[in-house]
C-alpha cells in the first residue's frame, strides 16, 4: 500500500509522499522502469564526499524513500536522488571532474518539468542551492542516524522495514603476500614463417594456414609490401606529428588478422588496421598462443587508388610488382617457444597491486604472460631491451592463474629463471558485504515500499528501536550476507523476521520473482578511478567515492538484480582483462583482442547461466554503472549481439544525474522546447550549386526557419551514394556481413519504399550508404522535421534552442580528451597551421562538401 498520513488522515487518504490523494494519482508513464512511473515533485540531494562512505550509505538509504512500488495502483512513485557537489576550481585538465555543471542542467529540467518542487531534501548540504516550497535538512555523520531520520520523515507508519547489517568499511592495504618460483627452460628455435597475399581491392578475406606447436607461447606478425614512402619526415613535421607514414607508392591499405582453432571454432586473436599515411606501409600484431594447432592469417583489403623516399622491400621486389601490375603482401611470422607454470596460490578477495618480476641467467631474453583460468592473457611483458621483466597489474580476480615464460631471443641449452610475484587485498570480504547489504537492501525496500534501516552487526542500533516503535513496524526483511550478526537476534525480539537474506544469488532471484524483469545492472565496489582531460589514463583512486548508490537506484527502477563484479570470484576474474587493457590502451593505439573479449564475455554469461539469470532465447538488458577505468570500456562492447548493453559513466556525481535522466526521460523530455506543438525556430543550413565557371551560387541562404518536433543533422563527413557511384570508382560493391548489398538488394519492409526515388530508383530497396539523404528520409517518415547545420556556432545555437535528437557524422580524434570537426567558414588550416583555403561565402551549408584548390573553394575569388 501507499504510505499513509498521520492518525486523522489514516482512514481517508492513501498518500504518495506527502499528500497526493488517491483520486489525484496520474496514470504514469512507461519508460525503462519495470512498471509505470508517477513522478513526484521532490528531489533529494546528498553531499558528495570523495573521502568518506557516509554519503554512499546515505544515498542508498534515500532510495526506497524516493522510489517505491505501490501494489494497489501497480505504479512506481519516484523522484531523483542526486549526489551534490560544488564547482571545482582548476584548469582545463580538471574539467573531467567538474560534475556540478551537469547537475545544474538536470535540476533546471526537473524543476521546469514539475513547475516548481514541493520539497527538496538536503542531506549534509549547506544552504539552498535550489528552491522549493519546503525543505528538509538532515545533518549527520552517522549513517544509522541518517537512515532513521529518512524513515521518520518519509513514512508516517509502515508495517514493513528492511534492515541491512552495516559495520565499519575501510579501504586500504591488507594481507600483502610475496611468493616465488624457479624453473629451467629448455631453449628451442624461434620459428620464422613468411606467407603471401595479393592486393585484391576487395573486402573478401585472404586466408592462409600455419601450424603452432604446443611448445610455442607467443607470436609476432608483421604485414608489409614492397613500396616507397614519399617524404614521411616532411609530412610528420608539416602535420605536427599527426601523419607519420608519408605517401606510399604503390598505394594499398590492407588489414591483418590472426585466428586460432579454439574449442572447434575459428577465433580471432589479434587484428591490426593501420592507415598507412599515419604509420607507413605495415601492420603489426602480437599475441599469446591461446591454443596450439592450426592457425590462420587473414588479409582484408581496403581499395585504394594510386605519387620518393623510404623503401620497404627490395628494388627488385618493387619492379617485379610493377611489371606484374600487382601488389604482393608479405606476412612475417615469428613464433616464440616457452612453457607455462601454474601459480599454486589464489589471489584473495579484491586482490590489488599484483607485481610480477622475472629474472634469468645467461644472454637470452625471456618474457612473461599472465593468463587467467578462462585462458585470457591479462598482461604481458615481452620487451627485449631489458635485463629483467617487470609487470604490474592493478588487480587480479579470485581465480587460478598461470604464467607463460617465453624465450624471446635465440639461445642454446637450458635457461634458469626465477619468477617472484606479490599481491594484496584492497578490502576485506566481510566489509564488502556491508556495502552490498545496503545496496541490495535498498532495492528490496523499494519493492516493498518500506524504509531501509541500518544496524551494526554486534548490537541493534538504538535508532532502529525508535523507528520500529514510531512507525509501528511489524515485519522486517534482513540483509546480512555475513550471516553472523548478533543484532538480528535482538531484532527478532521486537519484530517478526519475515526473511533473512544471507546469499546474493537468493537476493537476485527474489528481486526477479517480484518484478518478472530479466534486466541486470552491473557495477563495482572498487572506488572511483579519476582521470584528467588530455591525459587519457588513470590518475588515482578516491577511496570514499563509489558507484554503488546510483547503480542501486537504477536497479530499483528496472526491478532487477544489482551485481557487483567484485563479489563473485568468476566475475572478478573476468573483469580484470577489461580494466587492465583499457588503462593501457585508452589512447587507442591498438584495437582490443577479440579473443580476450570473447573468453571473458563467455565466462560472464556462463556465470549468469549457472545462477539462473540467463533466460534462454532472450537478450537481456545489461546496464553497467561504473567509471571507464573501473570497468573497462570493452566490457560493454563484448555483449552486443547476445544482450542490449549500455553504460552510465563519469564521476559518481555524473552517474547520479545520468541515471535520473534515464529513468525520468519520458517526463523531462517535455521540458525541451522542441516538443512545443507551436514549433520552434532553428537555424537551417544553406543550399548551393556549382556553376560551370566554378563559382558557387547560393540558392537558399542559411536562415531561421520553423520546425515541428525537429531532429538536427550535421553532415560534415559522410558517405554519398556509395554503392551506386563510388563502387564504379573503387571497383567493388560494399556487401554487409549478412550478405545484403545496399542499393541493389530489394527490401520487404514497407518503410524502405522509395528510399532511392530521389535518384530515379523506385520501390523498396535496402538504402545506399548515403546518410545525408537516407537518414532524413527515415526521420521524416517517423514524423520528425529535420534541420541541418555544419558549422560549430550554428550547431550549438540550435542545440541550445532545443532539438529532440542531434545526429552528426564527422571526423574526430582523442586529443584533448575528444575533438569533433566542424565546417570552418574562416578557412581550412593546412601544413604547419598555414591556411590553405580562403574564407567561404557559404559559412553554414546544409551539408559539407569537398574543397577545391585555394581561392576556388566556393566562389570567394569573385567577391
Q: What is the DSSP string of 281-335?
A: SEEEEEEE-SS-EEEEEEEEE-------EEEES-HHHHHHHHHHT--EEEEEEEE
Query: Which position has the grid cell 564526499?
Result: 49
Give the lowest-confidence range in 5-9, 473-477, 820-824.
5-9
The closest of 241, 245, 277, 230 to 833, measured between CA atoms, is 241
pLDDT at 399 over 90: yes
Query: CA-based angle 628:632:635, to the nearest 5?
Result: 125
678 with 571, same domain: the answer is no
558 with 593, same domain: the answer is yes
Q: Quickly state the pLDDT bin for 25 (edges 50, 70, 90).
A: low
Annotate 9-56 with DSSP letters as a single string. Answer: GTTT-EEBTTTB-GGG----B-SSSSS-EEE-SEEEEEE--TT-SHHH
How is residue 32 written as a grid cell? 525503462
Final residue in a domain of this structure, among 338, 372, 401? 338
The closest of 797, 151, 89 to 469, measured between CA atoms, is 151
Q: Three-class SS of residue 259?
A: strand
Query: Which position has the grid cell 607514414?
Result: 245
How is residue 334 written as a grid cell? 615469428
The closest of 477, 396, 497, 479 to 433, measured between CA atoms, is 479
Final residue in a domain of this structure, among 425, 456, 490? 425
pLDDT at 640 over 90: yes
pLDDT at 14 over 50: no
Greater pLDDT, 835 or 815: 815
Q: What is the largest CA-CA distance in the chain?
A: 100
The closest of 316, 365, 313, 371 to 337, measured between CA atoms, is 365
Backbone angles phi, psi at 623, to 5 degrees: -110, 130
Give the mean model confidence (pLDDT) for residues 131-150.
Answer: 97
Q: How far apart are CA 363 and CA 383, in angstroms?
A: 14
Domain ranges, residue 838: 673-718+770-862
**Per-residue confidence (pLDDT) for residue 241, from 0 to 100:** 55
The secondary structure of residue 250, as a DSSP letter, is: S
C-alpha count within 13 angstroms, C-beta hemisphere, residue 215: 9
Question: 504-515 and 429-448 are packed helices; what angle lies between their axes, rounded to 10 degrees?
Answer: 20
Asked, for residue 441, whether it belongs to a domain, the answer is: yes
**Per-residue confidence (pLDDT) for residue 235, from 0 to 100:** 56
Q: Quickly state the pLDDT bin for 858 (edges 50, 70, 90).
A: very low
**Per-residue confidence (pLDDT) for residue 3, from 0 to 100:** 46
Q: Are 46 and 62 in contact (CB under 8 A)?
A: yes
Q: How far is CA 51 from the centre of its chain?
A: 25
Distances (CA, A) of 424 to 348, 350, 625: 7, 8, 25
Q: How far apart are CA 12 and CA 4, in angstroms?
A: 9
358 with 438, same domain: the answer is no
Query: CA-based angle 128:133:138, to the nearest 5?
Result: 50
Give the mean model confidence (pLDDT) for residues 785-797.
Answer: 97
Asked, for residue 510, whether it belongs to a domain, the answer is: yes
**Per-residue confidence (pLDDT) for residue 17, from 0 to 100:** 36
pLDDT at 662 over 90: yes
Q: Return the sign of the alpha-carbon dihedral for residues 619, 622, 628, 630.
A: negative
452 with 522, same domain: the answer is yes
Give the mean model confidence (pLDDT) for residues 390-419.
Answer: 97
**Per-residue confidence (pLDDT) for residue 102, from 0 to 100:** 96
Q: How far apart are CA 855 and CA 491, in angstroms?
A: 84
How is residue 722 written as a grid cell? 556509395
Q: Quickly state the pLDDT bin for 615 (edges 50, 70, 90).
A: confident
pLDDT at 175 over 50: yes
**Per-residue confidence (pLDDT) for residue 67, from 0 to 100:** 98
**Per-residue confidence (pLDDT) for residue 253, from 0 to 100:** 84
**Per-residue confidence (pLDDT) for residue 821, from 0 to 100:** 87
Q: Three-class SS of residue 607?
A: helix
Backbone angles phi, psi at 661, to 5 degrees: -60, -40
Give the mean model confidence (pLDDT) for residues 712-730.
Answer: 89
Asked, for residue 755, whether it belongs to a domain, the answer is: no
pLDDT at 429 over 80: yes
pLDDT at 20 over 60: no
Q: Return the sign of the alpha-carbon dihedral for residues 310, 315, 317, 321.
A: positive
Asked, for residue 690, whether it belongs to a domain, the answer is: yes
**Residue 852 burial (C-beta neighbours within 10 Å; 0-12, 13-18, 19+):** middle
Give the lowest-confidence range in 232-246, 647-661, 678-692.
232-246
pLDDT at 231 over 70: no
Give the lowest-confidence range in 200-214, 413-427, 546-560, 824-838.
824-838
Asked, for residue 15, whether it belongs to a domain, the answer is: yes
Q: How far apart are CA 743 and CA 7, in angstroms?
A: 71
Distances (CA, A) of 777 to 770, 781, 803: 11, 6, 17
Query: Which position has the grid cell 593501420?
Result: 274
Q: Quickly state the pLDDT bin for 1 (edges 50, 70, 90).
A: very low
Asked, for residue 739, whether it belongs to a domain, the answer is: no
pLDDT tens digits, 517-567: 999 999 999 999 999 988 889 999 999 999 999 999 999 999 999 999 999
202 with 316, same domain: the answer is yes
Give the lowest-confidence range in 157-166, 612-621, 659-668.
612-621
**Per-residue confidence (pLDDT) for residue 244, from 0 to 100:** 58
Give how many domains the chain has, as a whole number. 4
pLDDT at 5 over 50: no
Q: Are 96 and 628 in contact (CB under 8 A)?
A: no
Q: Return the sign of the alpha-carbon dihedral for residues 429, 431, 432, 437.
A: positive
C-alpha count within 13 angstroms, C-beta hemisphere, residue 73: 24
Q: How far apart are CA 744 and CA 65, in angstroms?
A: 57
96 with 111, same domain: the answer is yes
Asked, for residue 519, whether it belongs to a domain, the answer is: yes
**Would you tell me how many other CB atoms lie within 10 Å of the CB of residue 83?**
25
Q: How far apart are CA 256 and CA 332, in angstroms?
A: 11
5: left (phi over 0), alpha (psi -120 to 50) or beta: beta
Greater pLDDT, 417 or 818: 417
Q: In what order do the strands lie in the sheet with 710-715?
A: 785-788, 710-715, 805-809
Residues 6+ apart with CB under 8 A from 859: 691, 694, 695, 696, 697, 841
The closest of 507, 470, 477 to 492, measured between CA atoms, is 477
Q: How far apart are CA 54 and CA 454, in angstroms?
A: 12
Average pLDDT over the chain, rounded to an integer = 89
C-alpha count within 13 angstroms, C-beta hemisphere, residue 403: 26
The closest of 625, 638, 634 to 581, measured between CA atoms, is 634
437 with 519, same domain: the answer is yes
165 with 224, same domain: the answer is no
pLDDT at 53 over 50: yes
SS3 content of the chain, % helix, strand, coil (to 5): 30, 35, 40
How is residue 361 written as a grid cell? 641467467
End-to-end CA distance of the chain: 75
Q: Are 571 and 677 in contact (CB under 8 A)?
A: no
Asked, for residue 847, whether it belongs to a domain, the answer is: yes
Domain of residue 216, CATH code: 2.60.120.380
**Per-residue confidence (pLDDT) for residue 323, from 0 to 100:** 55
Greater pLDDT, 232 or 289: 289
**Per-residue confidence (pLDDT) for residue 862, from 0 to 100:** 38
Q: How far apart are CA 539 and CA 383, in angstroms?
A: 25
Percent of the chain with pLDDT over 70: 88
Q: Quickly state the pLDDT bin for 12 (edges 50, 70, 90).
A: very low
Q: How far apart are CA 837 and CA 852, in angstroms?
A: 9
pLDDT tens digits, 29-46: 999 999 999 999 999 999
Give the mean model confidence (pLDDT) for residues 5-21.
Answer: 29
Give the mean model confidence (pLDDT) for residues 429-444.
Answer: 98
How is residue 841 written as a grid cell? 561565402
Give the mean model confidence (pLDDT) for residues 703-719.
Answer: 96
**Per-residue confidence (pLDDT) for residue 854, from 0 to 100:** 40
Final residue in a domain of this structure, among 298, 320, 338? 338
pLDDT at 745 over 80: yes
Q: Quickly state the pLDDT bin for 104 (edges 50, 70, 90).
A: very high
Q: Quickly state the pLDDT bin for 860 (edges 50, 70, 90).
A: very low
100 with 129, same domain: the answer is yes
349 with 321, same domain: the answer is no
Can you point out the beta strands (E) in 643-695?
643-648, 680-684, 687-690
Q: Are 725 and 799 in contact (CB under 8 A)?
A: no
Q: Return the sign of the alpha-carbon dihedral for residues 274, 279, 284, 287.
A: negative
601 with 525, same domain: the answer is yes
300 with 223, same domain: the answer is yes
Query: CA-based angle 103:104:107, to the nearest 5?
Result: 85
Amino acid at each position: 500500500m501507499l504510505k499513509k498520513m498521520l492518525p486523522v488522515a489514516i482512514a481517508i487518504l492513501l498518500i504518495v509522499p506527502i499528500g497526493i490523494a488517491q483520486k489525484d494519482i496520474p496514470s504514469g508513464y512507461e519508460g525503462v522502469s519495470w512498471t509505470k512511473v508517477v513522478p513526484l515533485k521532490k528531489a533529494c540531494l546528498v553531499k558528495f564526499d570523495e573521502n568518506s562512505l557516509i554519503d554512499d550509505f546515505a544515498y542508498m538509504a534515500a532510495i526506497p524513500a524516493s522510489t517505491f512500488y505501490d501494489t494497489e495502483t501497480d505504479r512506481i512513485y519516484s523522484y531523483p536522488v542526486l549526489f551534490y557537489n560544488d564547482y571545482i576550481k582548476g584548469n582545463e585538465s580538471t574539467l573531467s571532474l567538474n560534475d556540478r555543471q551537469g547537475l545544474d542542467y538536470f535540476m533546471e529540467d526537473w524543476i521546469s518539468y514539475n513547475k516548481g518542487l514541493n520539497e527538496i531534501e538536503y542531506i549534509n548540504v549547506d544552504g539552498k542551492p535550489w528552491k522549493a516550497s519546503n525543505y528538509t535538512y538532515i545533518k549527520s555523520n552517522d549513517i544509522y542516524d541518517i537512515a532513521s531520520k529518512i524513515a521518520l520523515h518519509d513514512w508516517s507508519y509502515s508495517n514493513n522495514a528492511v534492515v541491512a547489517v552495516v559495520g565499519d568499511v575501510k579501504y586500504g592495504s591488507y594481507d600483502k603476500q610475496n611468493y616465488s618460483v624457479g624453473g629451467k627452460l629448455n631453449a628451442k628455435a624461434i620459428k620464422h614463417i613468411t606467407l603471401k597475399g595479393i592486393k585484391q581491392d576487395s573486402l573478401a578475406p585472404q586466408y592462409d594456414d600455419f601450424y603452432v606447436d604446443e611448445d610455442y607461447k607467443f607470436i609476432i606478425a608483421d604485414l608489409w609490401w614492397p613500396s616507397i614512402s614519399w617524404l614521411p619526415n616532411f609530412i610528420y613535421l608539416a602535420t605536427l606529428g599527426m601523419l607519420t607514414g608519408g605517401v606510399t607508392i604503390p598505394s594499398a591499405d590492407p588489414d591483418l588478422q590472426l585466428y586460432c582453432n579454439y574449442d572447434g571454432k575459428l577465433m580471432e586473436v589479434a587484428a591490426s588496421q593501420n592507415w598507412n599515411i599515419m604509420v607507413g606501409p605495415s601492420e603489426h600484431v602480437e599475441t599469446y598462443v591461446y591454443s596450439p594447432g592450426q592457425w590462420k592469417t587473414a588479409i582484408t583489403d581496403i581499395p585504394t587508388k594510386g605519387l620518393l623516399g623510404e623503401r620497404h622491400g627490395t628494388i627488385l621486389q618493387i619492379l617485379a610488382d610493377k611489371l606484374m601490375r600487382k601488389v604482393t603482401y608479405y606476412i612475417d611470422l615469428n613464433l616464440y617457444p616457452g612453457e607455462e607454470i601454474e601459480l599454486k596460490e589464489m589471489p584473495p578477495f579484491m586482490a590489488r597491486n599484483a607485481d610480477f618480476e622475472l629474472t634469468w641467467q645467461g644472454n637470452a631474453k625471456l618474457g612473461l604472460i599472465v593468463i587467467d583460468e578462462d585462458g585470457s592473457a591479462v598482461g604481458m611483458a615481452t620487451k627485449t631491451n631489458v635485463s629483467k621483466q617487470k609487470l604490474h597489474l592493478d588487480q587480479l580476480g579470485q581465480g587460478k592463474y598461470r604464467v607463460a615464460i617465453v624465450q624471446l631471443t635465440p639461445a642454446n641449452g637450458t635457461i634458469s629463471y626465477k619468477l617472484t610475484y606479490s599481491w594484496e587485498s584492497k578490502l576485506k570480504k566481510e566489509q564488502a558485504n556491508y556495502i552490498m547489504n545496503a545496496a541490495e537492501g535498498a532495492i528490496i525496500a523499494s519493492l516493498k515500499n518500506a524504509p531501509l534501516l541500518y544496524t551494526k552487526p554486534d548490537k541493534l542500533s538504538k535508532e532502529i528501536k525508535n523507528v520500529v516503535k514510531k512507525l509501528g513496524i511489524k515485519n522486517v526483511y534482513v540483509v546480512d550476507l555475513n550471516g553472523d550478526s548478533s543484532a538480528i537476534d535482538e531484532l527478532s525480539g521486537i519484530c517478526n523476521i519475515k526473511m533473512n537474506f544471507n546469499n546474493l544469488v537468493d537476493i537476485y532471484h527474489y528481486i526477479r520473482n517480484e518484478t518478472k524483469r530479466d534486466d541486470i545492472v552491473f557495477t563495482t565496489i572498487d572506488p572511483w578511478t579519476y582521470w584528467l582531460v588530455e591525459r587519457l589514463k588513470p590518475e588515482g583512486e578516491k577511496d570514499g567515492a563509489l558507484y554503488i548508490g546510483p547503480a542501486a537506484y537504477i536497479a530499483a527502477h528496472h526491478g532487477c538484480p544489482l551485481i557487483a563484479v567484485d563479489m563473485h570470484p568468476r566475475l572478478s576474474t573476468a573483469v580484470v582483462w577489461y580494466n587492465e587493457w583499457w588503462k593501457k590502451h585508452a589512447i587507442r593505439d591498438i584495437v582490443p583482442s577479440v579473443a580476450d573479449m570473447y573468453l571473458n564475455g563467455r565466462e560472464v554469461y556462463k556465470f549468469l547461466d549457472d545462477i539462473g539469470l540467463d533466460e534462454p532465447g532472450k537478450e537481456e538488458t545489461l546496464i553497467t554503472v561504473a567509471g571507464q577505468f573501473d570497468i573497462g570500456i570493452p566490457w560493454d562492447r563484448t555483449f552486443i549481439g547476445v544482450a542490449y548493453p549500455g553504460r552510465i559513466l563519469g564521476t559518481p556525481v555524473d552517474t547520479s544525474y545520468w541515471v535520473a535522466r534515464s529513468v525520468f526521460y519520458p517526463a523531462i523530455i517535455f521540458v525541451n522546447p522542441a516538443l512545443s506543438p507551436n514549433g520552434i525556430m532553428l537555424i537551417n543550413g544553406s543550399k548551393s550549386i556549382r556553376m560551370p565557371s566554378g563559382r558557387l551560387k547560393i540558392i537558399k541562404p542559411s536562415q531561421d526557419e520553423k520546425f515541428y518536433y525537429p531532429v538536427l543533422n550535421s553532415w560534415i563527413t559522410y558517405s554519398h551514394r556509395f554503392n551506386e557511384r563510388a563502387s564504379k570508382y573503387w571497383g567493388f560493391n560494399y556487401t554487409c556481413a549478412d550478405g545484403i548489398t545496399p542499393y541493389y538488394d530489394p527490401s520487404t519492409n514497407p518503410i524502405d519504399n522509395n528510399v532511392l526515388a530521389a535518384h530515379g530508383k523506385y520501390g523498396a530497396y535496402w538504402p545506399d550508404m548515403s546518410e545525408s539523404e537516407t537518414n532524413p528520409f527515415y526521420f521524416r517518415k517517423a514524423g520528425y522535421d529535420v534541420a541541418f547545420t555544419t558549422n560549430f556556432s550554428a550547431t550549438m545555437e540550435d542545440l541550445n534552442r532545443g532539438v529532440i535528437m542531434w545526429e552528426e557524422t564527422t571526423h574526430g580524434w582523442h586529443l584533448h580528451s575528444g575533438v569533433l570537426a566542424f565546417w570552418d567558414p574562416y578557412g581550412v588550416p593546412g601544413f604547419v597551421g598555414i591556411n590553405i583555403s580562403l574564407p567561404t561565402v557559404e559559412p553554414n551549408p546544409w551539408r559539407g562538401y569537398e574543397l577545391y584548390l585555394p581561392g576556388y573553394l566556393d566562389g570567394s575569388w569573385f567577391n
